[in-house]
Chains A and B, each alone.
Chain A
Amino acid sequence: AQKVTQAQTEISVVEKEDVTLDCVYETRDTTYYLFWYKQPPSGELVFLIRRNSFDEQNEISGRYSWNFQKSTSSFNFTITASQVVDSAVYFCALSEEANNNDMRFGAGTRLTVKP
């Protein structure tokens, strides 16, 4: 069965530092989808990115970048020049093509960016 591990429970950085959030996944399916969501204190999950298993190109969106490595089953998320507004809980999630309505989330990483 699919599984997502976010080993970092909490991370604290000072504004303008770069920070990487780790995500390791397990799946037996060859076709799957990986996601990152942000959950600010308001509680609403905000979609950040979706990546399918056949697309290993890294992606950059402003200060955000994602590193997908199938060889290590990892899909890490880096925030460059962090800002206080980046403070939130970040979730990595996985869904398999064979059961693609069931999105499995990791336990989340709480990021605190201090001014």
Chain B
Amino acid sequence: ETGVTQSPTHLIKTRGQQVTLRCSSQSGHNTVSWYQQALGQGPQFIFQYYREEENGRGNFPPRFSGLQFPNYSSELNVNALELDDSALYLCASSVLAGSHEQYFGPGTRLTVT
């Protein structure tokens, strides 16, 4: 069984640029959630995708957007990067939408300068 994978591992961008992060869900999982984890803090929910549709969103501005593909992999896009966007971005997959066991990937460390 293949676990959740994310790419890239690390990324450095300049303020104002755009970034795309990628996530492949665990085999058999149709739901993907994205979280932002600032240094020294717990993860914060960005949004969830279930069967290619957004299924809930946290308190993040519209410049954070996402996609889920037919194979259930997902992308997180962030436009107009700000310094505060520097964080570890975690992707998690689960068998069903909602409050089920979520299995996390290793994350993408984004640094905005």
Residues of A within 8 A of B (CB): 4, 32-33, 37, 42-47, 50, 91, 93, 95, 97, 99-108
Contacts and interface: CB of A to CB of B under 8 A. Distances in A.
Given A105-B43, A107-B41, 6 more contacts: A43-B107, A44-B107, A50-B99, A91-B42, A103-B33, A105-B42
B44 A95 contact: no
Given A44-B106, A44-B107, A47-B103, A101 B43 contact: no
Contacts of B92: 45
A45 B99 contact: no
Given A43-B106, A47-B102, A50-B101, A102 B43 contact: no
B42 A102 contact: no
Which 4 pairs, one residue from A and one from B, show the smallest C-beta to C-beta distance?
Answer: A105-B42, A101-B56, A45-B104, A100-B98
Nearest to B31: A101
Interface band, chain B: 20 to 34
Interface of B: 33, 40-45, 48, 50, 55-56, 58, 88, 90, 92, 97-107, 109
B107 to A, nearest CB: 5
Contacts of A102: 45, 48, 56, 58
A101 B107 contact: no
Pick the most buried of A91, A101, A108: most chain B CB atoms within 10 A of its CB.
A101
Contact of A103 (B40, B55, B88, B99): B99
B99 A104 contact: no
